[in-house]
Amino acid sequence: MNAPRILSGIKPTGRPHLGNYFGMMQPAIAWQDRGQAFYFIADYHALTTVQDAAALRQHTRDAALDFLACGLDPSKAVLFRQSDVPEVTELAWLLTCLTPMPMLENCHAYKDHLARGKVPSHGLFAYPVLMAADILLYDSNVVPVGKDQKQHVEVTRDLAEKANRIFGPIFTVPQPSIVPEMATVIGLDGQKMSKSYGNTIGLFEEEKALKKKVMGIVTDSAPVEAPKNPEVSSIVALYRLVAGEADVGVMESEFRAGGVGYGEFKKRLFGAIWETFAPFRSTRAELAADPSTVEAVLADGAGRARAVADQTMARVRQAMGLR
């Protein structure tokens, strides 16, 4: 049986944070040993929110640098910029012609945008179609996602099945792989960690900035001596991600017993985060010292990705009556 073709992406809208790492990067790095892994830095997608050219280029380079620093192996996985494979925009248009408006109107990101009183761009509205093109272009059959992202794969499956009914078997229909470790990471304010909420902890924060953020985590007003519930604590939720099982057990017990204040728990959390990412910081510094290394990885990844994309588009154009 052939190894699965795995596809995932990260949007370069700013420096990656703990939510990006535990929600996408760490699982993706684990998946590189399970099949043919294609990982892209979604700079086209980022244009819905980032409209500063220099910032987008820097965010894109940083995302690649951070991915490599955290353990992505370019000999195992294909890492590339989305915009280095322009065939994806052609495929997105072809899929757009098959996409019913109500399908997009029902997508979570669009509805959330409206609920927040914002005026969505066409790019945000059509975002799921470009995402479908990302997946289908590489004949991906496994798409690791968290539960909150399953809808994107369902849209992709619907469009692939519709195209296959009309034009013949031109697309591989992907399967969502719900990854338990892609659980939602809690931010500084108790909501999902997200750049749009301004509640993130950066993956490579400077020491003082990291400590300030961790010490600023929102808590209730329970006094030091009072018992506290670890199951509803942002501090404990984050600590579980970076501390050993025994240390987590100690913190949970001390929460329930009382006698230890939130300040002490935050100091432990800060220490665990700082130590966990120390090896990655060292590797990142080495990579950053020679920018040509990262550019070479992205260029090689783009060539490997385009080789697959060319085959897919030749098949699609023929079936749909183009050229």
Q: What does 144-187 look like in DSSP terms, one character per residue?
A: EE-GGGHHHHHHHHHHHHHHHHHH-S-SPPPEEEE-GGGPPPB-
117-127 per-position pLDDT tens digit: 888 899 999 99
The residue behind tokens 């990854």 is 179
Fold of domain 5-183+291-320? Rossmann fold (3.40.50)
168-205 per-position pLDDT tens digit: 999 999 987 766 555 679 999 999 898 878 999 999 99
319: tokens are 């079936």
41: tokens are 């830095």
Closest CA to 295 of 85, 47, 74: 74
Q: What is the mean pLDDT of the chain?
A: 93
Instruction: Tell me what pLDDT residue 41 has.
Output: 96
Angle at the Cα of 258 from the Cα atoms of 256 and 260, rounded to 5 degrees: 120
205-232 per-position pLDDT tens digit: 999 999 999 999 999 999 999 999 999 9
Residues 298-320: what's their mean pLDDT? 98
Q: Indicate whether 315 pLDDT > 60.
A: yes
84-103 per-position pLDDT tens digit: 999 999 999 999 999 999 99
Domain positions in the chain are 5-183+291-320, 205-276
25-37 per-position pLDDT tens digit: 898 899 999 899 9
d(CA 297, CA 79): 7
What is the share, in percent, of the chain residues with pLDDT greater than 70? 97
Angle at the Cα of 91 from the Cα atoms of 90 and 92, rounded to 5 degrees: 90
97: tokens are 């012609």
122: tokens are 């066409």
Residues 92-117: what's their mean pLDDT? 92
262: tokens are 């939130």
Q: Indicate whether 149 pLDDT > 80.
A: no
Instruction: Tell me what pLDDT residue 117 has.
Output: 87
Fold of domain 205-276? Tyrosyl-Transfer RNA Synthetase (1.10.240)
